[in-house]
């Protein structure tokens, strides 16, 4: 802001005046000019309490008498003010946008010092009211703000768990037991280990546990450890400091643990985690803090981990490929997700659900199945479980128009198993002469026999295979008249 010659000449500052005298007279003039030309002026002391505010500024912020603001902390009057930061740092903020209600002010902030250089407060000026002189810039700023809010909203939606435990379709004893265990796990904040073959619905249960837990409003972040190149796993999980390695981003990168802070991190295929990183994961789980790659600072976390695997972790521990201490830390709450062949009574309900879902996604009418086609589907071993079943139904929907019969279905199957070949394990659910209760009871009995056969009569292993307690297994044997079998 320029000071006129008349101003200086009035005080004899043109010729023969010392610099000290010049400053003593010119500085008050400079302040008066700023105060007159700006849209508002305010000053705070070392405690960031208001010691002065001019009438123009007071009126802009809805204060009838400027004197009533004196002594108040700056945030009480201007919630978005950063004068406190200027007081604490001693550094000016020459140009900034400050929000007040629906408006934005263009402001500048400078520290105030006494003759000895001691910081005594800070001074703020509103250069432009409502930023009307920066209209093009404000339009871009508002547009960017809108895009940012929209992106954050979409990102938050993407990090919400979509499924509930009820989405695990099935009323068999095996399905009911795993859902019961999942509901119990949701009420606890301990680490959960989901074990089961590929395609059994481990991530669905993980999302269901999250949605039923106190962390339901937090993010749900899923990471497939096996899908990340080994060289990038550490950066992906724990983040990186700026320039942590050659080719790294100059900005810090947030890892998935930090992204999931306040919520749940689902680590799928945990058995594929490289051995050198297992110790770091163990520390994160124990200490609830993370140290990004290339950083020497730790960040506190509040994350629940749900891990999943389809491999034999005990065998990997015995082979020295998986740390035993990490195994014990993960295996706090273990849930075994049964394969589809152990809950064949659920296949008809699953098929109905999958066909409806495929129809909704494709916009086509739901495909119908003949009785012999349903029997053929129930007889398959389903090594890929529900995922394989869905894949087959999707291919069938594209291949036919209308009703799916056994002959057409057999051409889509790889090495199909006929119902007669699988007679001992064909579920009674396909019978049209039995009630639903009778069909379910028969399917449950067959599942018990199949589990005993697969474990050579070892009842403890058979109970674990079915995902129920040993006492529950004995009760089921007695219920079906199998108590005296081996």
Averaged in consecutive runs of 10 residues, what is the pLDDT profile of the chain (486 residues)?
A: 50 52 58 68 90 86 88 89 90 83 81 86 79 64 73 62 90 93 94 94 95 93 91 90 62 87 95 92 93 86 95 91 94 93 91 91 85 89 92 88 85 70 44 59 78 79 76 76 57
Q: Distance between CA atoms of 472 and 177, rounded to whole angstroms?
A: 10
Positive or negative CA dihedral for 287, 293, 298, 303? negative
Element (H, E) at 427: none
Helix residue spans in 61-161 (DSSP H)? 74-77, 83-89, 135-158
- Integer angstrom CA distances of residue 298 from 74, 234, 289, 295, 482: 33, 15, 6, 8, 57
- Which residues fall within 8 angstroms of residue 54, CB to CB, at 6 or more apart? 35, 40, 41, 42, 66
Encoding tokens for residue 218? 């937090």
Report phi then psi at 51, rounded to 5.
Answer: -110, -15
Helix residue spans in 48-169 (DSSP H)? 55-60, 74-77, 83-89, 135-158
pTM of the complete model: 0.59
Token pair 């405690």 in the structure block, residue: 47
Encoding tokens for residue 232? 């990038």
Query: What residues does 300 pair with on adjacent strands?
Result: 289
Q: Distance between CA atoms of 477 and 479, rounded to whole angstroms?
A: 5
pLDDT, residue 269, reads: 94
pLDDT, residue 446, reads: 80
User: Residues of 12-28 as b/e, b for ≥16 C-beta within 10 angstroms?
Assistant: ebeeeeeeeeeeebbee
Q: Distance between CA atoms of 312 and 270, rounded to whole angstroms?
A: 11
Domains in the chain and their CATH numbers? 41-127 (3.30.450.20), 160-336 (3.40.50.300), 342-413 (1.10.8.60), 437-480 (1.10.10)
Contact (CB, 8 A) for 219 and 263? yes
Strands 403-404 and 368-369: parallel
Contact (CB, 8 A) for 225 and 263? no
CB atoms within 10 A of CB 116: 6
Token pair 């796990």 in the structure block, residue: 185
* DSSP track, 402-444: SEE-HHHHHHHSSS---TTTTGGG--GGG-SSS-HHHHHHHHH
Residue 34's Cα: distance from chain center in Å?
A: 49
End-to-end CA distance of the chain: 98
| HSE toward the beta carbon, residue 367, CA cutoff 13 A | 26
CA dihedral 17, 18, 21, 26 (to 10 degrees): 70
pLDDT, residue 423, reads: 40
Q: Distance between CA atoms of 167 and 178, rounded to whole angstroms?
A: 12
Name the 3-class secondary structure at 245. Answer: coil
């Amino acid at each position: 802001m320029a000071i006129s010659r008349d101003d200086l000449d009035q005080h004899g500052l043109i010729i023969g005046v010392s610099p000290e005298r010049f400053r003593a007279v010119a500085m008050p003039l400079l302040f008066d000019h700023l105060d007159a030309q700006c849209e508002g002026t305010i000053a705070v002391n070392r405690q960031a309490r208001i010691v002065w505010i001019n009438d123009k500024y007071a009126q802009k912020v809805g204060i009838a008498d400027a004197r009533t603001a004196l002594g108040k902390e700056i945030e009480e009057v201007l919630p978005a003010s950063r004068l406190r930061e200027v007081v604490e740092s001693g550094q000016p903020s020459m140009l900034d946008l400050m929000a007040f209600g629906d408006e934005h002010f263009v402001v500048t902030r400078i520290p105030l010092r006494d003759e000895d250089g001691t910081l005594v407060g800070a001074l703020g000026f509103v250069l432009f009211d409502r930023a009307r002189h920066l209209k093009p810039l404000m339009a871009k700023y508002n547009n960017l703000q809108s895009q940012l809010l929209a992106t954050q909203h979409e990102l938050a939606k993407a990090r919400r768990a979509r499924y509930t435990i009820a989405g695990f379709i099935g009323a068999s004893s095996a399905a009911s037991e795993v859902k019961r265990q999942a509901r119990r796990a949701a009420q606890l904040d301990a680490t959960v280990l989901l074990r089961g073959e590929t395609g059994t619905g481990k991530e669905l249960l993980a999302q269901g546990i999250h949605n039923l837990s106190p962390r339901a409003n937090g993010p749900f972040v899923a990471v497939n450890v096996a899908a990340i190149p080994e060289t990038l796993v550490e950066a992906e999980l724990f983040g990186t400091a700026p320039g942590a390695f050659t080719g790294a981003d100059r900005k810090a990168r947030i890892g998935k643990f930090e992204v999931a802070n306040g919520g749940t991190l689902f680590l799928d295929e945990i058995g594929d985690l490289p051995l050198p990183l297992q110790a770091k994961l163990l520390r994160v789980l124990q200490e609830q803090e993370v140290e990004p790659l290339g950083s020497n600072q730790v960040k506190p976390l509040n994350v629940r981990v749900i891990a999943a695997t389809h491999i034999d972790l005990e065998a990997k521990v015995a082979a020295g490929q998986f740390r035993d201490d990490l195994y014990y830390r993960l295996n706090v709450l273990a849930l075994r997700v049964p394969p589809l062949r152990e809950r064949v009574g659920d296949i008809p309900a699953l098929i109905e659900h999958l066909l409806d879902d495929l129809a909704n996604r494709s916009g086509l009418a739901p495909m119908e199945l003949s009785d012999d086609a349903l029997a053929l589907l129930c007889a398959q071993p389903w090594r890929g479980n529900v995922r394989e079943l869905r894949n087959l139904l999707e291919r069938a929907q594209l291949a036919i128009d209308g009703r799916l019969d056994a002959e057409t279905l057999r051409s889509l199957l790889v090495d199909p198993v006929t119902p007669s070949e699988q007679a001992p394990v064909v579920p009674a659910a396909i019978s049209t002469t039995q009630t639903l209760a009778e069909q379910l009871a028969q399917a449950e009995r067959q599942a018990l026999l199949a589990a005993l056969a697969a474990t050579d009569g070892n009842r403890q292993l058979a109970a674990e295979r079915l995902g129920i307690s040993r006492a529950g297994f004995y009760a089921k044997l007695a219920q079906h008249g199998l108590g005296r079998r081996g």
